[in-house]
Structure 1
């Protein structure tokens, strides 16, 4: 029996040896595909192994929400850039970001429920509550990115145009929001509470931008300088940008309460 087993192994090896490179490449392709799928829908910081140390699990959850906030910023900037540049080639990526954010929200929510079932310190309980409320605002940011994506498609399909001055103002609002995002990350993850007044000030700037843009738009309408058809897209776009600032401020305020 031993001799037969040895002969069988030798013959099998001789048959498969010429095919070894093909088999290795096939295995690599299969493993790579699986890894890529997991990379798209995989949390970066939370892990069930941290649950035995709730304080660490809470800290990792905060990092995961911070990552979600930054992904939401990427989705929003992609939509806004498409609008201001009139380059709509990457708009479909917004939906990929939204799916990713939905996955993050669901995964983090399930995770903090597991954490809350452990013996958690009072300070960490408050942080878990903060995370829960922040996720709601991140979901809203994702929806706003999708709204702006749809406005871009409307502009693309109807051929609506906006003046360079309007585009510059929208870019200015975007720049203010980017600064607000950076400050929110500092407050939320690193508890740099001194940046909260800056966040609220930038929220006011975005509000003022919206007001001045709408006033100028109404003036142009009355003077016949722009089409009525553009009003719906323009008013909704500016309103959505204002709401981004509102949700960012809510995340920051929730982090310092």
Structure 2
């Protein structure tokens, strides 16, 4: 599962690098990591389903269900990284430009999401309840920031400081990053509930 998480996070990193730099080599990395994510997801899911056919205790069944959920969450992080890279490819091909302010805001959201993802895996590996609490608080801050940025962005659009196309894409990126953080926080919550 940690191996799967590593590829999903590397896909996210390459996806953001592609958005930021526009170099196709990062898009290729996203595709390569997605192949690895899908392969590990398939093997891990098959293995877990085989285990589910064994005689398991109630607690073992809870853990199994929780790990299956976590595998799904990690696979979705990979999918959203791919969606973000595809959006970046569209933006680069169409020559759509973001304002410096919009780019800085997206960089901040990405960095917060990336940190949440990395720390979520640390929570799982180390069974770190203290870090879990900190990550949950940072996730709540990210959700508040997303709402603020959406409002600020609407004002920019209304003032003509941003094109409609860039505006729609900005909101898409915000949505991708915050959803990625949502999936990562699911892992943390499973640790705090003692089912992973």
TM-score (norm: length of structure 2) = 0.89
Q: 1:210-252 CA deviation, whole Å, 9 max, x = no partner? A: 2222222211111111111212211111111110111111121
> Conserved in 1, the CA contact under 8 Å of 2:12 and 2:78?
yes
Corresponding residue for residue 8 of structure 1: none
Mapped to 2, the partners of 1:86 and 1:204 lie a distance apart of: 31
Superposed displacement of residue 129, structure 1: 1.7
Q: What is the Cα-based RMSD across aligned positions, in Å?
A: 1.8
Corresponding residue for residue 139 of structure 1: 75
Q: Does 1:106 pair with 2:45?
A: no
Mapped to 2, the partners of 1:146 and 1:217 lie a distance apart of: 24
Superposed displacement of residue 152, structure 1: 0.5
Point out where structure 2 has 5 or more consecutive residues left out of the alignment. none
Corresponding residue for residue 192 of structure 2: 256
Which residues in structure 2 correspond to 1:142-221 (within 5 Å)?
142-221=78-157
**What is the number of equivalent residue pairs in this alignment?**
193
Superposed displacement of residue 128, structure 1: 1.6
Mapped to 2, the partners of 1:220 and 1:226 lie a distance apart of: 6
Superposed displacement of residue 177, structure 1: 1.8
> Conserved in 2, the CA contact under 8 Å of 1:183 and 1:198?
no
Out of 157, 160, 183, the position equivalent to 1:224 is 160
TM-score (norm: length of structure 1) = 0.69
Superposed displacement of residue 171, structure 1: 1.7
Corresponding residue for residue 240 of structure 1: 176
Mapped to 1, the partners of 2:25 and 2:168 lie a distance apart of: 23
Superposed displacement of residue 92, structure 1: 2.1
Mapped to 1, the partners of 2:190 and 2:21 lie a distance apart of: 35
Larger RCO (CA under 8 A, 6+ residues apart)? 2
> Conserved in 1, the CA contact under 8 Å of 2:73 and 2:184?
yes
> Conserved in 1, the CA contact under 8 Å of 2:41 and 2:75?
yes
Mapped to 1, the partners of 2:25 and 2:46 lie a distance apart of: 35
Point out where structure 1 has 5 or more consecutive residues left out of the alignment. 1-64
Corresponding residue for residue 9 of structure 1: none
